[in-house]
Chain A
Amino acid sequence: MSNLLEVRGVSKRFGGLVAVSDVSFSIAEGEIIGLIGPNGAGKTTLFNVVNGVYKADQGSITFAGKDITRCSPDQVVHLGLARTHQIVKPLNDLTVLDNVTVGACFGREYLDMAAARKVASEVLQQVGLGDRAGMMARSLTIAGKKRLEVARALAAKPKLLLLDEVLAGLNPTEVALMIELVRKIRDSGISVLMIEHLMQAIMSLSDRIVVLNLGRKLAEGQPDEVVHNSDVVEAYLGFPDIVDKLTRME
């Protein structure tokens, strides 16, 4: 099976700081890949390089058979690669519906207004914001804003969705709902690459996990393999007994 996303030897430097160094991995269609690592490991920078916010200093990124290394974020969306932001960026003075309509209008299908509104209402139902459509985006709760991020990205009808810490800052009920939503997204045929700190969630959702530390790829594999990898345990989890604790929770 050909890979949907292929990241080969990507590096990104900011002055003297190497934020991402020679990272390679790939995502197959229909896969959920978890991207984990301690704070400052370069996860969000890697996202920014993949979707074109930053240009890679080295390496190449291929998406759906097309080289997107030099593409700008808006071009990347048209090809079917959408993302959410760790720090939510709602379009505050527009309604929730308009926010999502922007995603549909300028997404992969480049819909006109009428069609985009229809898609937007459907997506809002799907993420559970259906009854908030007419509200101003600024008045949503943090959980609502996270959902809005996901809705806007979904409205673009992506083939691959990059989720940047959509669970952070949510309470347990909201986390459960969001995990359910991510599963549904995968079941609808969209591949997912997600950054997450909540180990329990990422262990149960991901098909494979990629671990970053200090900008480098430390490990990659099935969730079980990764948590038992001694490098990962040392760099990321710190104490070996956390592994036992995690596996008991499974």
Chain B
Amino acid sequence: MILRRPFFWIILLIAAGFIYAPLHGNNVSLREDLILVAIAIILASNLNLMIGYTGYVNFGHIVFYGLGGYVGLYLTTVRNWNLVLSALVAGVVVSVCAFLFGLAILRLRGAYFALATIGILQAVQAFVSNFDPWGRSTGMYLSFNSYQSLGGARRALWITYFLIIAVMALSMIVSLAIKNSKFGLGLFAIREDEDAAVVLGVNATVYKAIIYSVSAFLPAVAGALMFFKNGMIDPSIAFEYMLSLEGIVMLMLGGQGSVIGAALGGALYEKLRSYLLTAPVLSNFHLVIAGGLLLMVVLFAPGGLIGWVYRLVPRARKVIE
């Protein structure tokens, strides 16, 4: 069914491009660039499930990514598990946690929910910073042996890259599938008017907890892969609050509620950020620009890039999902 949607094939093409470009000519620096773009797309796409689809603003989305990284690194390094299995288990563990958090905090609405998500981020960070098996505030380091099982560091990094691209493609496919499903329609109804949705028969409590949990899964898997690639993790890089906020900027920039909008926003913002970070005159200036950008988007193009396209060409709604 989803195979019939042209956009599904576009996603696969994008993923193929991401794989082909750095592989061609063994361009490692391009690969490192693209990996950041891919992570941005993963975070923005999954955040879109909460903000764009369900209308619940999650300020602490990064907590899933960081927690996934911790569980993943713990399993690969301390338990010597294989990478793919570790990443999947990290995804499942974090999803289950998210489901439980969700049942607790999703009774809140609007600004109160948003505040609670910040609380969760702080609480998890505080917990991890004091959790002995995970190295408290110094974090964990990957033993170099872990790369051996994947055939040495060079190969291990490529494999990790391919896996992250797969997670990126999967993020967009999941977004697309949900958007066209009955489940997705229920979420949209909740976004538009939760009271009306419930009166129409949508079990909002369960739906919200499920989507909160789903939006945790792939970021957690990505976190496990990314921190495996980086070889180390500590609380301040795992739960980087700024990245959580920037996820929201990406979404607003691209167009919340749209699959391609979230991905495009993620990719564009990441490229912009790395440019601003590396340009010598502008270093440490990127958050100022991000703030300004967010302000412009909210004021002049509340639907983001895709919303702007929809407005110009209303028929585009049917094609660009």
State the main secondary structure of chain B at its contact with A.
Answer: helix
B189-202 near A? 1/0 per residue, CB < 8 Å: 10111011111111
Assuming the A-B contacts A105-B185, A105-B186, A113-B182, are A152 and B192 also in contact, with contact meaning beta carbons closer than 8 angstroms in the complex? Answer: no
Number of residues of chain A lying within 8 A (CB) of chain B? 28
A106 CB-CB contact with B under 8 Å: yes
How many angstroms from the CA of A90 to the CA of B197 in the assembled complex?
A: 10
Q: Which of A45-93 contact B (CB under 8 A)?
A: 51, 53, 72-74, 77-78, 83, 85, 89-93
Q: Is the CB of A94 within 8 A of B188?
A: yes
Number of residues of chain B lying within 8 A (CB) of chain A? 20
Chain A residues positioned under 8 Å from B197 (CB to CB): 91, 102
B181 CB-CB contact with A under 8 Å: yes
A116 CB-CB contact with B under 8 Å: yes
Chain B residues positioned under 8 Å from A34 (CB to CB): none
Q: Is the CB of A92 within 8 A of B192?
A: yes
The residue in chain A whose Cβ has the minimal distance to the Cβ of B303 is: A93
B203 CB-CB contact with A under 8 Å: yes
Assuming the A-B contacts A74-B203, A113-B181, A116-B182, are A102 and B198 also in contact, with contact meaning beta carbons closer than 8 angstroms in the complex? Answer: no
How many angstroms from the CA of A167 to the CA of B226 in the assembled complex?
A: 59
Q: Is the CB of A78 within 8 A of B193?
A: no
Q: Is the CB of B196 within 8 A of A72?
A: no
How many angstroms from the CA of A72 to the CA of B189 in the assembled complex?
A: 17
Q: Is the CB of B185 within 8 A of A74?
A: no
Q: Is the CB of B189 within 8 A of A89?
A: no
Q: Is the CB of A113 within 8 A of B198?
A: no
Q: Is the CB of A102 within 8 A of B186?
A: yes
Give min CB distance, B62 to chain A, whole Å.
27
Give min CB distance, B299 to chain A, whole Å.
19
| Residue of A92, A107, A112, A113 with highest tally of chain B CB at under 10 A | A113
Chain B residues positioned under 8 Å from A94 (CB to CB): 188-189, 192
Give min CB distance, A107 to chain B, whole Å.
6
A86-128 near B? 1/0 per residue, CB < 8 Å: 0001111110001001110111001011001000000000000
Chain A residues positioned under 8 Å from B181 (CB to CB): 113
Q: Give the residue of B180, B193, B198 whose beta carbon is less than 8 angstroms from that of A73.
A: B198
Q: Give the residue of A78, A85, A92, A98 whose beta carbon is less than 8 angstroms from that of B185.
A: A98
Q: Give the residue of A89, A90, A106, A116 whose beta carbon is less than 8 angstroms from that of B202.
A: A106
Chain A residues positioned under 8 Å from B204 (CB to CB): 74
A18-56 near B? 1/0 per residue, CB < 8 Å: 000000000000000000000000000000000101000
Q: Which of B183-223 contact A (CB under 8 A)?
A: 185-186, 188-189, 191-193, 195-204
Give min CB distance, A174 to chain B, whole Å.
22
| Residue of A72, A102, A107, A113 with highest tally of chain B CB at under 10 A | A102
Chain B residues positioned under 8 Å from A51 (CB to CB): 199
| Residue of A72, A74, A90, A103 with highest tally of chain B CB at under 10 A | A74
Q: Is the CB of A106 within 8 A of B192?
A: no
| Residue of A78, A91, A101 with highest tally of chain B CB at under 10 A | A91
Assuming the A-B contacts A101-B185, A105-B182, A105-B185, are A77 and B192 also in contact, with contact meaning beta carbons closer than 8 angstroms in the complex? Answer: no
Chain A residues positioned under 8 Å from B195 (CB to CB): 53, 89
Q: Is the CB of B201 within 8 A of A78?
A: yes
How many angstroms from the CA of A101 to the CA of B200 in the assembled complex?
A: 10
Q: Is the CB of B199 within 8 A of A102?
A: no
A182 CB-CB contact with B under 8 Å: no
Q: Give the residue of B182, B189, B196, B201 whose beta carbon is less than 8 angstroms from that of A112.
A: B182
The residue in chain B whose Cβ has the minimal distance to the Cβ of A149 is: B196
How many angstroms from the CA of A249 to the CA of B199 in the assembled complex?
A: 37
Q: Is the CB of B199 within 8 A of A77?
A: yes
Give min CB distance, B122 to chain A, whole Å.
32
A156 CB-CB contact with B under 8 Å: yes
Q: Is the CB of B189 within 8 A of A91?
A: yes
| Residue of B193, B200, B204 with highest tally of chain A CB at under 10 A | B200
Q: List 8 A-B contacts (CB under 8 A).
A: A89-B196, A91-B192, A91-B197, A93-B191, A102-B189, A102-B200, A106-B200, A156-B200
Closest 3 CB pairs of A and B: A106-B201, A91-B192, A77-B201
Instruction: Give A contacts to B, CB under 8 Å.
Output: 51, 53, 72-74, 77-78, 83, 85, 89-94, 98, 101-103, 105-107, 110, 112-113, 116, 152, 156
